[in-house]
Amino acid sequence: MSKRDHLSIFISLLLRHKPQAAGIELDEHGWADVDELIAGINSTGRQITREILEEIVASDSKQRYSLDADHRLIRANQGHSIPVDVELKEKNPPEILYHGTAEKFLENIFKKGLMPMNRLYVHLSPDVETAVKVGKRHGKPVVLEVDSARMRRDGEIFYCSENGVWLTKNVKPEYLKRLCEMRVEIG
Ligand code: HQG
């Protein structure tokens, strides 16, 4: 992994979970001051400049971060564990959404439903491919099909983050179906 990748992982830790690791604070909407973030990261012995930070934000494969209009503030678009309100937009989801997980979690998921665990929301994707990648982070990947159309009809609320991740508070087992193996492999 490159130095940049390590920095990027550290930035997402700070902006989603643990700003105190660089002695910084987030406001109620999840924003950090860019100058404070840079100084905070440098105070941990890592090295970053405004240019490098701007490059990391612009080139991030999942577009995880947003800068405000004058690039004075920065925040993560989703994925937080700390309770900040990133002003997510409520949106009607596509008919079906997908969630990638690991086989070892299935029994519990079909008992209790999908829960946000350490984050504020359950993360869902509009495509199988992304779900497979997300599932692989946890073990043998399994993709669950979420009947988002029926959830919506039943009054459940969905949000779509700036970077296109679908979020909801939890998904009851009745809305979940395991996607057949073949489609997971193709996906
Ligand atoms: C599982 C990455 C047992 C859930 C990704 C998941 C994503 C349960 C794990 C984003 C459960 C939580 C989020 C239950 C859910 N019993 N296990 N009742 N309910 N789980 O990492 O969705 O690269 O917090 O299936 O790409 O894997 O960081 O969530 O396996 O978009 O930007 O508990 O993080 O994006 O794991 O990933 P996580 P996730 P970034």
Centre of ligand 1 to C-alpha 106, Å, is 12
39: buried, middle or exposed (CB in 10 Å: 19+, 13-18, 0-12)?
A: middle
Mean pLDDT for 155-170 is 97
Residue nearest to atom 29 of ligand 1 (CA): 123
Cβ(145)–Cβ(176) below 8 Å: yes
Residue nearest to atom 6 of ligand 1 (CA): 101
The pLDDT value recorded for residue 18 is: 98
Higher-scoring residue by pLDDT: 51, 184: 51
pTM: predicted TM-score of the whole model, two decimal places: 0.93
Q: What is the pLDDT of residues 79-130, one digit of tens each?
A: 999 999 999 999 999 999 999 999 999 999 999 999 999 999 999 999 999 9
Q: What is the pLDDT of residues 5-49, one digit of tens each?
A: 999 999 999 999 999 999 999 999 999 999 999 999 999 999 999
The pLDDT value recorded for residue 181 is: 62
pLDDT band for position 187 (50/70/90)? low
